[in-house]
Amino acid sequence: MLWLAFCVPLHLVSRLLGASGWPRRFLGGVAWIVGARIRADGEPLTAHTLAIANHVSWLDIPILAGATGCAFVAKDDLKGHPVMHWLCEQNGTVFVDRSDKRGIAEQTAAMQEALTAPRPLTLFPEGTVGDGGRLLPFRPPLLSAFAPPPEHVTIRPVAIDYGPSAREFGWPDGENGKENFLRMLGRRGTVTVTIHLLPPLPPLADRKQLARAAHDAVAAALAPSGVAPAAV
């Protein structure tokens, strides 16, 4: 809370003067406080890049944002949490409601519009967090807006690798959000988290092919840490 109280006023002042880099600093600081020590492997993400990443923990967001400056696509289930919703908005989050079939065109346009900004955008196509030991299937419908990708967009798989500590950072069945959050904040020590920034994928017009290609690339990067694709 002290870190939040320190960053918010500086962010608001920076916005009055122009663009603010404080959301990225804040999120990177959260990752540091929890004990994540980040190592990036691969060419940096650039503007107009869609990163397709695995999803282990809520901590993935501060880790990736702090390291790459990316925004995120997220489920719009934070309406009952106005502070969290506001914080996500400050980092440029694109909220989507997967149950709103009539709003798909607008949500697709919002994601594509976000990729015209001078920063990467990250999507978690597993659609949920896992237990840390398995890579869940990538859901093709979540990638429909990028099969094929807009002309100016590069698609890159990204593997978030917690190494042998992956299960410690996963979200086990039966643990609610508050319990998980407090467990992460209360853990001791540090952990090296490697962000594998993998090579771009070729443009693919079929969303199933795109999901499979991204999943295969992420799975290969995580295999040395013992993370295996979940049985389907």
The sign of the dihedral angle between the CA atoms of 209, 172, 158, 7 is positive
Taking only the tens of pLDDT, the chain with its 232 residues reads: 677 777 777 777 877 777 778 788 989 999 999 899 999 999 999 999 999 999 999 899 999 999 999 999 988 776 567 777 788 888 888 988 766 665 677 888 888 889 998 999 999 999 888 888 999 999 998 898 899 998 889 999 999 999 999 888 888 887 887 888 888 878 888 999 999 999 999 999 999 999 999 999 999 999 999 998 986 5
User: CB 206: neighbour CB atoms within 10 A?
Assistant: 13
Global pTM value: 0.91
Q: What's the token pair of residue 178?
A: 């508050």
Domain definitions of the chain by residue range? 42-229
Q: CA of 3: how far to CAs of 7, 50, 99, 163, in Å? A: 6, 29, 35, 27
